[in-house]
Amino acid sequence: MTHYPDFKMVAEQLVQTARWASRMGWAPATSTNYSVRLPDDAAPAYCAITSSGVDKGTIEVEHILAVDQHGRPIDADRLKPSAETPLHLLLYRTMGAGAVLHTHSLPAALLSQLARDEGRILLSGWELLKGLSGIDTHEVEISLPVFPNSQNMQALSTRVERSLSRERSCYGFLLAGHGLYAWGKDIPEAKRHLEVFEYLLQCQREVTLHGHPANTR
């Protein structure tokens, strides 16, 4: 565990967030990962992140570790960071995120797979869009990017970073057949954005179940 004095408090916030996502049904098996950007004075520690292979329903503070800007563990006591750490790091670099949350809900996996070729899911007309920071009307269209999944995390993170640098995403993106990434300035905002997207993806899924277009183009 890093020597940053507030690390245990940060780790506890991540533990509570991971357990919440598990209770919501968004973290099956040992999937999903969660991180928070650490202050500059925590250097060389850059962010705190959940370790690999841990059930998020029973995760504990000792399963949270710090990594540097390259994703290398710091004082990790044999913990292994999530394999998707590069995706978290790119969102801190590119999007100025303060916290990043990644879930594997059923609607996110299904709809992202359906929208793989289109490369995005369009969300419009839903009242809960106003839960995203900076949006004050349902009369808006949000494009949620969808990227093909890959086991090569470095190549995938490079592809996502290039895309988001060109066309800034509104706090989230999907990996096809995989799940949702959402972020915010801190954990509370990231949780709100995650819950908004998960709810809206559930709405979109219900629309498709009733034979209507999913608004994915």
Topology, domain 1-83: L-fuculose-1-phosphate Aldolase (3.40.225)
Name the segment(s) of the chain with CATH classification 3.40.225.10.
Answer: 1-83, 84-217
DSSP category for residue 139: S
Q: Which of 50, 53, 17, 15 is nearest to 192 (CA)?
A: 17
Q: Does this model's pTM top 0.75?
A: yes
Read off the amino acid at residue 149.
N
pLDDT at residue 215 tops 50: yes
Q: What H or E segment, with its residue span, contains residue 3? A: none
**Band of residue 212 on the pLDDT scale cut at 50, 70, 90:** low
pLDDT in tens, 78-94: 899 999 999 999 999 99
- 181 in Cβ contact with 145 (< 8 Å): no
pLDDT tens per residue, range 103-153: 999 999 999 999 999 999 999 999 999 999 999 999 999 999 999 999 999
- The share of the chain scoring above pLDDT 90, in percent, equals 87
pLDDT band at 216 (very low <50, low <70, confident <90, very high): very low
- Reported as a pLDDT band with limits 50, 70 and 90, residue 2 is low
- Residue range 84-217 forms a domain whose CATH class is alpha beta
Q: Kindly report the CA angle at 138 between 137 and 143, in degrees rounded to 5?
A: 110
